[in-house]
Amino acid sequence: MRVAITRGISPRMDRCELTHVERQEIDLERAIAQHQSYETLLEDLGCEVRCLRASPDLPDSVFVEDTAVVMDEIAIITRPGAPSRQAEIPEITAELALHRPMAQITVPGTLEGGDILVMDRRVIVGLSSRTNACGARQAADILRPFGYEVVTVPIEKCLHLKSAVTRVATDTILVNRAWIDAGAFTGETRIIDVDPAEPFAANALQIGESVVFPAAYPRTADRLNQAGIRVRPIDVSEILKAEGGVTCCSLVFEA
Ligand code: CIR
């Protein structure tokens, strides 16, 4: 069974962290409706959605991806680099304890799930304003016994690694090369570039044969379709204003 953990939109989402984008007014009702459509789409794609309750004190808590990295063998509970996000951890820990043995990133390490891209046994970790070298080393130590190789790449021009690159099929990544050096990916990987007019379009959520993708980026969606990728567009305009994307709003794994 495929599970997707989500968390409701905080009524204080207007106070979310922002690093590389300007603050714009977020329409809370629209954000809630978009998030519900996102959950419905995950259900359509075969996920059992478990939605944790929204918290008024945690503006960014809808972005559950940053709080954990769920592998088949173990879940890593992160230590977010944004101090305002560290209180998101207990709720997610309690939920993941139902599904996996757990390990935890500890002080002085920081790590956010948006900086982790799993390519089979290769795990790429972005060193960003949220994830430090100590956090990456701890993740490597946790994953090594299970046969994972961890490599790091610097991230300076966007929030997270997965703002710049995501996997859209077994052998294919979607990338914004202005934000990341695609050299970290091996020669066998097919690379699709985002349309230059859509720099934020590299964040796509692969679920099985389908890719959940923001409706805001039609030019890049065309490129994906032309490459034979099955795109499921969704309007997430309010989530994009909070510097989020489609991967950030769920933790998807086999239970
Ligand atoms: C933050 O800055 O932490 C949130 N406003 C956005 C987090 C997005 N998460 C992600 O891309 N994995």
Look at ligand 1, atom 5, and give the residue with the nearest C-alpha. 17
How far separated are the first and last CA of the chain, in Å rounded?
Answer: 5
Cα(58)–Cα(222) distance, integer angstroms: 36
Whether 14 is in the pocket of ligand 1, judged by its Cβ within 6 Å, is: no
Contact between 253 and 49 (Cβ < 8 Å): no
Residue with tokens 């990728």: 229
Cα(52)–Cα(129) distance, integer angstroms: 27
Which sequence positions are flagged as catalytic? Answer: 160, 248
Look at ligand 1, atom 7, and give the residue with the nearest C-alpha. 244
Q: Half-sphere exposure of 168 toward its Cβ, with a 13 Å CA cutoff?
A: 30
> Measured in angstroms, how far is the CA atom of residue 149 from the centroid of ligand 1?
25
The token pair that represents 6 in the structure block: 């989500």
Whether 195 is in the pocket of ligand 1, judged by its Cβ within 6 Å, is: no
Whether 115 is in the pocket of ligand 1, judged by its Cβ within 6 Å, is: no
Q: How many CB atoms lie within 10 A of CB 158?
A: 26
- pLDDT tens digit at each of 255 positions of the chain: 999 999 999 999 999 999 999 999 999 999 999 999 999 999 999 999 999 999 899 999 999 999 999 999 999 999 999 999 999 999 999 999 999 999 999 999 999 999 999 999 999 999 999 999 999 999 999 999 999 999 999 999 999 999 999 999 999 999 999 999 988 887 778 999 999 999 999 999 999 999 999 999 999 999 999 999 999 999 999 999 999 999 999 999 999
